[in-house]
Amino acid sequence: VQLVESGGGSVQAGGSLRLSCVTSGYSDSRYCMGWFRQAPGKEREAVSAIRSDGRTRYADSVKGRFTISKDISKNILFLQMNSLKPEDTAMYYCAATACSRAFPPPLRRVEYTDWGRGTQVTVSS
């Protein structure tokens, strides 16, 4: 199994970025995917998650600004980030875990088993 993020960069406040995560080794019907972020000196926190049937969840801090999606045919997970703020500056990680459609996609770090290496997002004021 492998997760490889890309798309990070430096933008000014109010700008947009789209992160991508190429996945391999996952059976889509059995897995949830998520985006997390970690700023220097802070805990890794959930940003968004998506279940195999497309149900999504978002952290309150990004609702209305970020959109998670996936291209099943290409095994790519996306995070469209709009109206970026300096407080969005962090290393962003893609994660995956086996999950059931009986439950919402998880937003707790401990529930994810596989992680990418991250891509840096820097938002300047």
Q: Say if residues 22 and 76 touch (Cβ distance below 8 Å).
A: yes
pLDDT of 72 reads 86
**For residue range 83-116, what is the model confidence (pLDDT) as tens digits?**
999 999 999 999 999 999 999 999 999 999 999 9
**For residue range 69-87, what is the model confidence (pLDDT) as tens digits?**
999 888 999 999 999 999 9
Q: Say if residues 49 and 99 touch (Cβ distance below 8 Å).
A: no
Q: Say if residues 91 and 38 touch (Cβ distance below 8 Å).
A: yes
**pLDDT at residue 28 tops 70:** no
pLDDT of 114 reads 96
